[in-house]
Amino acid sequence: MGVNIERTIDAESADALSLMYRRAFEPLRTLTATKQTLDDSEFRSMLDMDQVMKFVGRTGDGTPVALAMMTSELKLIPWINPEFFIDRYPEHHATGRLFYIPTLLVHPDHQRGHWFVGLVKEMSLVAGAVHGVAIMDCCRYNDEELGFLDMIHSVADRHTHHSFEEVDSQRFFALCPDGLRRRPVDRS
């Protein structure tokens, strides 16, 4: 029982993790402007990749109940622009110490236990041991309503000396026309 880095994920575990992934992110379906999940084939192929570290929390009988992934292959993350991060942390990238955390979740039936703490601890130890940089993204809902970033910071703080800063953000705007002007405003 606990969180371990697993190199290969057997088929039965992959099925359980895939189901857990869908269930954990279901509440965010209508709460965020960008998709928070990979599709099933993308998710499973990430589970299969050697370059992706899988931090898996399992109960005593081996049932997976928590998962985080971390990789230094930034090009594997479909929604980011690796060049932005590489430009910002060139030495970390060149030495394989620039990591991305594409997902982190706890099975809905096991949340508010010790699993989140276990995942963040193990990832902090891996990144901390090499003085790395671990990048993650967070939707506004998880930040403001769940306190996700504070949670990460407070748990990582138990294991590493670090700074924790926002490196970029993307906002969404709605232009809502409320009728047409009778005569366009002349700006000339």
Residues in contact with ligand COA by CB under 6 A are: 24-25, 28, 103-106, 111-113, 115-117, 142, 147-148, 150-151, 154-155
- Residue 177 CB, nearest distance to ligand COA (Å)? 34
Residue 25 or 89 having the CB closest to ligand COA: 25
Least Å distance, CB 13 to ligand COA, is: 17
Residue 174: exposure state from Cβ atoms within 10 A (0-12, 13-18, ≥19): exposed
E strands of the chain, at which residues?
2-6, 52-58, 64-71, 98-106, 133-135
Contacts of 111 (CB under 8 A, 6+ apart): none
Residue number of the CB closest to ligand COA reads: 147
Of residues 98 and 120, the one with the C-beta less far from ligand COA:
120
Which backbone phi and psi does 58 adopt, to 5 degrees? -125, 145
Q: For ligand COA, which is the closer residue by CB, 98 or 106?
A: 106
